[in-house]
Amino acid sequence: MNAAFLTIADAGKALRARAISARELTRLHLDRIAAHDPQLDAYVCVVGVAAMEAARRADDRLARGGEAGQLTGIPFAVKDILDVEGLPTLCQSRIMPDRPASRSAPAVARLEAGGAILLGKTALHEFATGGPGFDLPFPPARNPWDPRHHPGGSSSGSGTAVAAGLAMAAIGTDTAGSVRHPATACGIVGLKPTYDLIPREGAFPLSFSLDHVGPLARSVADCAILLDAMADDRGGGSYGGLIGQGMAGLRIGVLDTFHVEGGPVDAEVEAGFATALDALRGLGATLVPVSPPPLAAFLTCLRIIQQGESYAVHRRWLAERPQDYGAMSREKLAAGALVSAADFVTAQQARRELSARYREATRGLDAVVALSSFHLPCRIDDRAQLAATYDRQARAVFNVTGDPAIAVPVGFSPQGLPLGVQLAAAPYRERELLRIAHALETALGATRHHPALFLDGEAGAQSKAIAGSA
């Protein structure tokens, strides 16, 4: 296999065994970015010279042996909404000053302290809202399974880079699903941890009480490695410590009411969900029907809170420089002007009530499973379908509750586009969540497949359709 598509775990073993050097692995990724990113627009900034210097230091650490951890020599990327010392944080916008950050966000600094190598900063939706705009300083990222299609958002470039072998991992942010959406659309794994488990410091805010920082990677085990490095320590050992344990006796709630009440779901997406449920049963889990509060209540609650908080951030710029925003983000941000104080307070009260009702509905369960997206990735230039992409999904539920949630690929549609589901657990139950997600990932094997267009001629990695899907 092309080394660019190794998991972090496997690449780390190869690096520590000196089967490949950090400089060779980093150069491979930089060469792939040069060759393939013009088709994908995943990156807004590549720091090749600095990356190669960091790789030299990583090789020195690897040569010393004992100092080399699992992330030493691993190339990664950062969504350009998080600060990186010495680089501007532009948020895909003309609004932000082109001024280098004085220090890196903790999530970035902790990965680099562990020996990971920053390749550059990735594309996003302007200020993590709006959509894939063509009226912004940088073009929108594209889906590596079909560049005519949307890669999900807002951490679009991060998802594209990992899926296409242009980074081994990436950091994203998730306010209403923005790590899990690109993970689902690009056929990789995306983890939104418990609220503030990874510090939000150094990430430009969209919505203070809904924003989460999380990793995107090619496997659940890789997400666990990244979480170990980025998260605040809550004891209990590695977040991947339960990975590999069996599923027998676990109780998993099925949140199918969300997509039933949410309207029509693409047949291929529905087939992928059924495949995931069959796999969980086959692994020995007991599936339990759940009756949570209505999806619409969660979405309305989140929308009001997000609009109010984001307008508080952008109010001055919207008044003084409205023309400098892209059309889609300006429209969404300006809507916050219509949120009254009474609306905002009512939404916060509803948030507490919805979270309490959800906790009661899921009491005694080890995790829950739900759809992530209700539709296949749409054409990137289809405005109507893009609107549906953001309005019709079940990811926002877990931003309202603050619970950890992870998107896991389950297969591919007959058109070759990725299918995925999400799993969620109670706050700070990441270890149990990663255990279940890894078992599902292993059973279905979807993460072993990569976009054929970006495999540099390698065979055997074409996508496979879900059996029985339409």
Domain membership of residue 13 (yes or no) is yes
Does residue 439 sit within a domain?
A: yes
Q: Report yes or no: 310 and 176 within 8 Å, Cβ to Cβ.
A: no
Q: Is residue 375 part of a domain?
A: yes
State how far the alpha carbon of 129 is from the alpha carbons of 92, 126, 188, 344, 352, in Å. Answer: 10, 6, 21, 19, 24
Residue 411, H or E segment? strand 405-412
pTM over 0.75: yes
Is residue 31 assigned to a domain?
yes
Strand order from edge to edge, sheet including 169-174: 43-46, 117-122, 75-79, 169-174, 212-217, 189-192, 405-412, 418-424, 367-371, 251-254, 286-289
Please list the helix, strand and coil fractions of the chain in percent, rounded to the nearest 5, in that order: 45, 15, 40
Q: Going by C-beta distance under 8 Å and a sequence separation of 6 or more, which residues neighbour residue 460?
A: none
Measured between alpha carbons, how far is 28 from 276 in angstroms, rounded to an integer? 35
**pLDDT for 202:** 98
Say if strands 117-122 and 43-46 run parallel, antiparallel, or are unpaired. Answer: antiparallel
Annotation marks residue 178 as catalytic? yes
**pLDDT tens-digit profile of 404-431?**
999 999 999 999 999 999 999 999 999 9
* Spatial distance between the Cα atoms of 75 and 87, rounded to a whole number of angstroms: 17
Q: Tokens standing for 193? A: 């941890």
CB 469 within 8 A of CB 268: yes
Type of residue numbered 150: H
Contact 462, 268 (CB under 8 A): no
Catalytic residue among 178, 219, 310, 373: 178
The residue segments making up the domain with residue 368 are 3-295+353-454
pLDDT the model gives residue 468: 30
Look up residue 233 and give its DSSP letter. P
Query: Which run of H or of E encompasses 189?
Result: strand 189-192
* Overall number of domains in the chain: 1
CATH code, 428: 3.90.1300.10
pLDDT < 50 stretches in the chain:
457-470
Catalytic, out of 93, 104, 154, 469: 154
| Distant-in-sequence, close-in-space partners of 319: CB < 8 Å, separation ≥ 6 | none
406 in any annotated domain: yes
Per this entry, what is the length of the chain? 470
Closest CA to 367 of 310, 283, 457: 283
CB 368, CB 424: distance < 8 Å: yes
* 46 lies in some domain: yes
> Within a domain: residue 326?
no
Q: Cis omega (within 30 of 0) on the bond before 93? A: no
Contact 137, 171 (CB under 8 A): no
**Cα-based angle 252, 254, 258 (whole degrees, multiple of 5):** 145
pLDDT value of residue 1:
63
Total Cβ atoms within 10 A of residue 34 = 12
Residue 319 confidence (pLDDT): 98
SS3 for 335? Answer: helix
The catalytic position among 21, 79, 93, 121 is 79
Phi and psi angles of residue 392, each rounded to the nearest 5 degrees, phi first: -125, 90
pLDDT tens digits, one per residue of 40-79: 999 999 999 999 999 999 999 999 987 789 999 999 999 9
What is the pLDDT at residue 455?
82
For the record, the structure tokens of 284 come out as 């020995």
Reply yes or no on whether 79 is catalytic: yes
Positive or negative: CA dihedral 81, 373, 433, 245: negative
Instruction: Give SS3 for 266.
Output: coil
* CB neighbour list of residue 405: distance below 8 Å, 6 or more residues apart: 180, 191, 192, 395, 398, 422, 423, 424, 433
H/E segment holding residue 430: helix 430-444
Say if 43 falls within a structural domain: yes
